[in-house]
Amino acid sequence: MKDKLYDMIFKRKSVRKYKLEPLDSSTLREVEEFGNSAQPLYDDIKIGIRIVSQGEASGFLSIKAPHYMIMTSEKKDGYLTNAGYIFQQVDLFLSSKGIGGCYLGLTQPKSEIKKELENEVVMVLAFGNPAEAVHRTDVSEFKRKALKEITNSSGYDRILEAARLAPSATNSQPWFFTGENGKLKVYCIKPNLLKALIYGRLNKFDMGIALYHITVASEKFGLKAEFVKEASTENNPPKGYYYIGTLFVI
């Protein structure tokens, strides 16, 4: 399965047009089971997944889709990045099944559903059978920064290419990577006060997406990426960035 998810990194796209007929019950069950079994970045953060139907979630720039997956999480250090790490597994899984998906950072479930949820709504993912192409035909279709713009390290090109192609809110691509000798330090752009109101949370979620891309790419090439937070690194980030964590790639 992870080989399929790796392949999807180079094909996936955000699908914004859907056929509104619901997926069959067995497919929905498969999607939900995959979401509930996805690998977390932090084992000690409780998350929840719930699928609702068209009309049960809405918000600014919402997309009409037959289904919406709601992710909730308890609020702990790193919970937004953990949520992005988990949800990107679902996004790639959907793509591998020919099912469209699109993150909706400003969408919320209806109030009566929200009252039933135990923890904070972190993100909503629209999904269903696509009414447009579900995959890109070539990597050139991605509008992304060049590799040299997101890292000053050498020797990590194969795995950082996967991070380079990761989706992010308004394509902001907030990541930067430094390191050597199997130690890759991960940083997120520090937004100004105005942008922080809109993008602060979303950037942290996006970092989880990029981290999962690195994890699955590492495994593709016979490596293991272990994520840790180093206190000694937090106080010395590159200018304009803040520290997220360190990946030991061995």
Q: Which of 79, 96, 128 represents a domain boundary (last residue)? A: 128
Looking at this protein, which amino acid is placed at residue 121? V
Are 70 and 49 within 8 A, CB to CB? yes
- Residue where the block lists tokens 């997926």: 23
Query: Measured between alpha carbons, how far is residue 62 from residues 59, 68, 103, 162 in Å?
Result: 5, 11, 10, 27
Hey, which residues does 110 pair with through a beta bridge? none
pLDDT tens readout for residues 70-84 = 999 999 999 999 999
pLDDT for 198 equals 80
Identity of residue 88: Q
Least confident of 26-30, 54-58, 85-89, 93-97: 54-58
pTM of the model: 0.96
Query: In this structure, are 82 and 148 located in the same domain?
Result: no
- pLDDT for the residue numbered 2: 80
Is 17 contained in some domain?
yes
Phi, psi of 78 (to 5 degrees): 85, 5
Report which of 126, 81, 82, 101 is spatially closest to residue 12, judged by C-alpha positions.
101
- Tell me the two tokens of residue 86: 């988990």
Specify whether 124 is located in the same domain as 154: no
Residues 236 and 187: their CA atoms lie apart, in Å, by 11
pLDDT of 61 over the 90 cut:
no
Chain centroid to Cα 204, Å, comes to: 10
Report yes or no on 197 lying in a domain. Answer: yes
Question: Which domain CATH number covers 25?
Answer: 3.40.109.10
Instruction: Report the number of distinct structural domains present in the chain.
Output: 2
Amino acid 248: pLDDT:
96
Q: Over 90: is that where the pLDDT of 234 sits?
A: no
Same domain, 48 and 95: yes
Mean of per-residue pLDDT scores for the chain: 95
Question: Residue 217 sits in which domain range?
Answer: 143-249
Q: Using one digit for the tens of pLDDT, what is the confidence trace for 184-233?
A: 999 999 988 878 888 899 999 999 999 999 999 999 999 999 999 998 88
Strand duo 175-180 + 183-189: pairing: antiparallel
**Considering the domain boundaries, does residue 235 fall inside one?**
yes
Q: Verify that 61 and 162 share a domain, yes or no.
A: no
Residue 43 within any structural domain of the chain = yes
Tally Cβ neighbours within 10 Å of residue 145. Answer: 12
CATH number, domain with residue 200: 3.40.109.30
Q: Are residues 58 and 172 in the same domain?
A: no
